[in-house]
């Protein structure tokens, strides 16, 4: 009997399987595609009292994830498995655990798209809404809910979202609702279709609902409590104007009263204004950006102030994202509570066969930025306006930099990039009190192409700083530094690099590193051994602290 | 019982393996350098191969790659008809710099902005750039490579030529 049952079951299975396969090949379900990507990062770190690293109890820390995506014509579905079995150093312990962190189904046509489940979205420049993910910062504020896009006619796009934000392995209580409309006027107004002037206008409305039954925060006035608004709204308008080489972009966002942990429960409204003007032609470009932020941290949970999670909007830093180690050693982080900034960028290409261009031409790139606090006047504590600020007034200097980069091909096999940089940094942007640091940085970066496939890159950096370790013991970046790096590349697969950073004056630490990488198609394996300074890594003005580490790291990524 | 599952799994795998190459995702919004929103289907090259290169202004190897290809791009286009589409993943911090950057660098490529990585995510680019794809005349993704090292562009054009040879 049991045997018979088994047989029956087996035949049922086969029938089922065949029908699926038939259905699938007939309907073309598996005529669709399964694609995906996998990343596995791991780390073994040991105690080093000089740089301040510690043994990790698990020995091995790892962050692993796999995205699987199924696409068939306009339909797609995906899921992501994440496993942080001992999250790597610098990632919040809240990530500990594993599971399906993201799943969605989606239907997308040219003029209509709907996604149910987790999604990422950005309205305009993100000042009202940006759900995004940055795995190196450990940020994932994906919304889970519904995302709809509809374009009734060419040049008009409407978007709508509703959902809750991911918070590590949980979800925030706050519900985020948003609408966005964008109008490309050249497509809408017929006589402008061929105009050289292109104008796009847009507007967003984003609202957060969060109940507040559990915490009425005591106001500063005895006997009173703060009446928390349950709905907080951000409204934004933007424009994008282009005429030949000229470009003008701007976005303004305003936020209603939003007492929260970050602003100490004040009732001041928030706003941000960002503008960018640029001119460019072949071999020449200039860009100026200005920004003013006032009380604009917008989160889906008002109590969230400790981590970098649950931001609904995104206020980018406008200073240049430097790539050389010493230039990015003191990075700028956006102060969403209040800042004013100005940045300028200039690029020029001296043509071949000119005095400064030489045989191969010369590229020059100059960048400068200055970011200051707001000029504020105290107007009471929690439960009040909090402070007032004048629009054009500025307060303390937070950050300033100037960099000049010259890139020149010396002959058919040698290319040199020489950079000078100056950075002024106020520790208050990382939450510490202290004097301004002033740093000078010089970098020489030489690539020597031996033949078609082999090349060697040399990088030498120097930084002189007035931040001394004796007076700044908490800061492992203090002091004057030198660095050398040699990297051997065998295209398109292999690289080996050896580097050392050494605090030769008024600082401590000797950070050597060796790493080897192998790439084949979409697969890359990298293994490194050495010391990593505690510090801050920033992407787009959002930063995370990375503790010191000493040991082995590896990273395997692949796509299929 | 185990056997049945195995057979089931194998059959599925077989069918998956039979599926042809993935195609360029459709219905993904990108921005032109003029600020207009367009769909990913604008990436076209009249039946000839396309190189899609994901890059960012702050990425040194990306810039080296696009600079290096610039030197040989005319030659590539003449011999293969290939078109390079550079998709910038610069977010709001630097996306306004992309147009001046491309002009200042005098790059001859078609450039789009993907500031929230929607296309990059749909194409499984992962977190790192540069990342290059070759799309054949039928719109299928037939080759991909992560990273850039001086000289890697040789492999890229060889792959384009191979794609062309296979199509003939």
Strands (DSSP E) contained in A426-490 are 437-449, 454-465, 480-490
What per-residue confidence (pLDDT) applies to A432? 86
The pTM score is 0.91
Under an 8 A CB cutoff, do A349 and B25 touch? no
Say yes or no for a CB contact (<8 Å) between B26 and A24.
no
CA atoms within a 13 Å half-sphere pointing along the CA-CB vector of A142: 25
Q: Which chain B residues are Cβ-neighbours of A557 within 8 angstroms?
A: 126, 128, 146
| B142 vs A430: CA distance, rounded Å | 46
> C-alpha dihedral over A133, A135, A141, A144, to 10 degrees?
80
**B90-131, pLDDT tens digit by residue?**
998 899 999 999 999 999 999 999 999 999 999 999 888 999
Query: CA–CA distance from A216 to each of A148, A228, A303, A372, A382 (Å)?
Result: 35, 7, 12, 34, 12
Cα–Cα distance, A364 to A350 (Å, whole number): 8
| Per-residue exposure over B101-120, b if at least 16 CB sit within 10 Å of its own CB, e if not | bbbbbbbebbbbbbbbbbbb
Tokens of A526: 């990298």
The distance of B55 to chain A (nearest Cα, Å) reads 14
Pick from A113, A285, A524: CB nearest B101: A285
- Chain A, chain B: beta-carbon pairs less than 8 Å apart: 228
pLDDT of residue A506: 92
Residue of A nearest to B129 (CA): A522
Q: In this structure, are residues A525 and A554 in contact, taking their beta carbons and an 8 Å threshold? A: yes
Nearest to A552 by CA among A41, A45, A40: A45
Whether residue A386 contacts residue A379, with contact meaning beta carbons closer than 8 Å, is answered with yes
Q: What is the structure's pLDDT at B10?
A: 47
**A190-229 residue pLDDT tens:** 999 999 999 999 999 999 999 986 556 777 777 778 889 9
- What integer pLDDT is reported at residue A433 of this predicted model? 86
β pairing state of B83-88 and A156-167: unpaired
Q: Which residues of chain A have pLDDT under 50?
A: 14-15, 18-28
Say which CATH architecture domain B22-167 belongs to. 3-Layer(aba) Sandwich (3.40)
DSSP state of B152: H
Buried b / exposed e along A17-56 (16+ C-beta atoms within 10 A): eeebbeeeeeeeebebbebbbbbbbbbbbeebeebbbeeb
CA distance A58 to A556: 20
- Backbone phi and psi for residue A384, each to the nearest 5 degrees, phi listed first: -120, -170
With contact defined as beta carbons under 8 Å apart, do B100 and A278 qualify?
A: yes
Do A130 and A161 touch, CB atoms closer than 8 A? no
- Taking residue B55's Cβ as centre, other Cβ atoms within 10 Å add up to 24
Chain A residues close to B41, C-beta within 8 Å:
110
Determine the Cα–Cα distance for residues A56 and A93; give it in Å rounded to an integer: 13
Q: By C-alpha distance, which of A509, A510, A528, A508 is closest to A518?
A: A528
- Looking at domain A109-316, its CATH class is mainly beta
How many residues are given for chain B? 168
With an 8 Å Cβ cutoff, is A15 touching chain B?
no
CA-closest candidate to residue A481, choices A467, A458, A501: A501
Considering Cα of A423, then A429, then A432, then A434, what sign does the dihedral take? positive
Q: Please give the full DSSP string across B26-90, using - where no structure is assigned.
A: -S-EEE-TTS-EEEGGG---TTS-EEEEEE-TT-HHHHHHHHHHHHHHHHHHHHH--EEEEEE--
Pull the structure tokens for residue A340.
């004013």
The closest of A145, A212, A214 to A175, measured between CA atoms, is A145
Cα separation, A91 vs A135, whole angstroms: 10
Domain boundaries, chain A: 109-316
Chain B partners within 8 Å of A453 (Cβ): 151, 154
* Interchain contact A438–B (C-beta under 8 A): no
pLDDT of residue A543: 77
CA distance A154 to chain B (A): 9
The SS3 call for residue A38 is strand
Q: Residue A434: left if φ>0, alpha if ψ -120 to 50, beta else—which one?
A: left
3-class secondary structure per residue, A135-192: CCCCEECCEEEEEEEECCCCCEEEEEEEEEEEECCEECCCEEEEEEEEEEHHHHCHHH
Q: Which residues of chain B have pLDDT under 70?
A: 1-20
Q: Are strands A338-350 and A139-140 parallel, antiparallel or unpaired?
A: unpaired
Phi and psi torsions of A321, nearest 5°: -85, 100
Q: Look at the block and give the residue holding tokens 């006589």.
A: A191
Q: Is the peptide bond before A492 cis (omega within 30 degrees of 0)?
A: yes
Q: What is the DSSP string of A184-222?
A: EHHHHSGGGTT-SEEEEEEEEEEEEE---SS--PBPSST
CA distance B163 to chain A (A): 15
Q: How near does any CA of chain A get to the CA of B117, in Å?
A: 9
The tally of CA atoms less than 13 A away on the side-chain side of residue A63 is 18
Contact B117 A285 (CB under 8 A): no
Cα A558 to Cα A35, A139, A476, B156, distances in angstroms: 11, 21, 35, 18
Nearest-neighbour CA in chain A from B81: distance (Å): 23
Collapsed DSSP state (helix, strand, coil) of residue A335: coil
Report which DSSP code applies to A26.
H
Q: Report the pLDDT value the prediction gives residue B14, as an integer from 0 to 100.
A: 43
């Amino acid at each position: 009997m049991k045997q018979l049952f088994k047989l029956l079951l087996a035949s049922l299975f086969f029938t089922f399987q065949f029908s699926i396969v038939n259905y699938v090949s007939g309907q073309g379900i598996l005529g669709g595609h399964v694609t995906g990507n996998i990343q596995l990062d791991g780390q073994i770190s040991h105690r080093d009292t000089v740089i301040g690293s510690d043994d990790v109890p698990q020995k091995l820390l790892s962050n692993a994830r796999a995205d699987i995506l199924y696409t068939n014509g306009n339909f797609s579905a995906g899921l992501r498995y994440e496993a942080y079995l001992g999250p790597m150093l610098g990632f919040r312990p809240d990530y500990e655990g594993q599971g399906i962190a993201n799943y969605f189904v989606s239907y997308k046509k040219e003029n209509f798209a709907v996604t149910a489940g987790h999604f990422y979205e950005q309205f305009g420049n993100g000042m009202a809404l940006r759900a995004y993910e940055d795995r190196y910062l450990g940020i994932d504020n994906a919304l889970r809910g519904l995302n709809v896009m509809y374009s009734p006619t060419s040049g008009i796009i409407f978007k709508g979202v509703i959902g809750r934000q991911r918070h590590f392995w949980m979800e925030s209580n706050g519900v985020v609702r948003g609408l966005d409309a964008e109008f490309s006027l050249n497509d809408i107004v017929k006589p402008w279709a061929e105009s050289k002037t292109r104008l796009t206008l847009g507007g967003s409305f984003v609202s957060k609902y969060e109940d507040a039954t559990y915490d009425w925060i005591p106001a500063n006035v005895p006997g009173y409590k703060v009446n928390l608004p349950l709905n907080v709204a951000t409204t934004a308008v933007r424009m994008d104007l282009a005429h030949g080489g000229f470009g003008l972009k701007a976005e303004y966002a305003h936020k209603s009263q939003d007492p929260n942990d970050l602003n100490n429960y004040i009732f001041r409204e928030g706003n941000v204004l960002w503008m960018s003007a640029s001119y460019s032609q072949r071999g020449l470009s200039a860009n100026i950006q200005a920004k003013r932020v006032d009380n604009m941290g917008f989160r889906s949970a008002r109590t969230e102030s400790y981590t970098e999670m649950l931001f609904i909007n995104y206020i980018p830093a406008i200073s240049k994202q430097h790539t050389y180690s010493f230039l990015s050693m003191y990075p700028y982080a956006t102060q969403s509570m209040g800042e004013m900034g100005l940045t300028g960028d200039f690029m020029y290409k001296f043509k071949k066969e000119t005095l400064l261009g030489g045989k191969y031409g010369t590229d020059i790139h100059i960048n400068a930025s200055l970011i200051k606090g707001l000029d504020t006047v105290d107007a009471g504590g929690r439960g009040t306006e909090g402070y007032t600020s004048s629009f054009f007034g500025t307060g303390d200097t937070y950050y300033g930099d100037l960099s000049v980069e010259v890139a020149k091909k010396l002959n058919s096999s040698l290319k040199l990039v020489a950079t000078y940089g100056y950075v002024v940094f106020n520790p208050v942007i990382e939450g510490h009190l202290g004097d301004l640091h002033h740093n000078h940085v010089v970098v020489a970066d030489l690539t020597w192409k031996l033949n078609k496939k082999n090349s060697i890159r040399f990088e030498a950096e120097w930084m002189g700083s007035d931040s001394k370790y004796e007076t700044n013991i908490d800061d492992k970046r203090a002091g004057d530094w030198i660095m050398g790096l040699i990297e051997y590349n065998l295209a398109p697969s292999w690289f080996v690099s050896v580097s050392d950073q050494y605090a030769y004056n008024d600082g401590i630490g000797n950070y050597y590193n060796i790493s080897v990488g192998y790439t084949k198609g979409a697969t890359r394996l990298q293994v490194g051994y050495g010391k990593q300074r505690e510090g801050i890594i920033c992407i787009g003005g959002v930063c995370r602290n990375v503790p010191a580490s000493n040991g082995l790291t590896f990273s395997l990524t692949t796509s299929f | 019982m185990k056997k049945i599952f195995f057979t089931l799994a194998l059959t599925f795998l077989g069918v998956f393996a039979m599926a042809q190459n993935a195609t360029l995702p459709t219905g993904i919004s990108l921005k032109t350098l003029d600020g207009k929103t367009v769909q990913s289907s604008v990436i076209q090259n009249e039946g000839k191969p396309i190189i899609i290169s994901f890059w960012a202004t702050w990425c040194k190897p990306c810039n080296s790659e696009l600079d290096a290809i610039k030197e040989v791009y005319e030659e590539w286009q003449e011999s293969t008809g290939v078109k390079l589409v550079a998709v910038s993943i610069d977010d709001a911090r630097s996306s306004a710099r992309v147009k001046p950057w491309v002009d200042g660098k005098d790059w001859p490529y078609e450039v789009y902005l993907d500031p929230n990585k929607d296309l990059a995510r749909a194409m499984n680019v992962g977190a790192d750039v540069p990342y290059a794809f070759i799309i054949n005349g039928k719109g299928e993704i037939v080759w991909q490579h992560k990273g850039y090292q001086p000289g890697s562009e040789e492999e890229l054009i060889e792959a384009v030529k191979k794609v062309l040879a296979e199509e003939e």
